[in-house]
Amino acid sequence: MATGIWTALGDPHRRRLLDLLRQGERSVGDLVAGLGLTQPATSKHLRVLRAAGLVQVRGDAQRRLYAVTPGPMADVDVWLAPYRQLWNERLDALGRHLDADVES
């Protein structure tokens, strides 16, 4: 059940992997090239992402095609939501402040 979504997203390499996968399915080889890490290291990151439910795998002959499954990110989004409201309030306040400056 989406163990460690934050941990999974905490690593920059893994975020980069997801960004690469946003363009569509990619083989591990492609991802290795895109990451600059070794193949084993890349595979391990993919494992973490899979465990977190953030990616899906599909076998294609000896290749494995990964695709992003963003569902679990909703958890992060949900946590973030109340704060989004907070920082929007502050931006609004800033906007009003600037408007007031202009008017004065």
56 to 75, contacts with a copy of itself by CB under 8 A? 68, 70-71, 73-74
27 in contact with DNA (CB under 7 A): yes
Site pattern 4..43 for a copy of itself (x: CB under 8 A): --xx-xx-x--x--x---x---------------------
Residue 99 CB neighbour total at 10 angstroms: 10
Please say which residue, 40 or 82, places its beta carbon nearer to a copy of itself: 82
Name the nearest CA neighbour of 28 among 8, 57, 70: 57
CA distances from 101 to 19, 33, 88, 94, 97 (A): 41, 51, 20, 10, 6
48 in contact with DNA (CB under 7 A): yes
Both tokens of residue 58?
A: 């599909």
52 in contact with a copy of itself (CB under 8 A): no
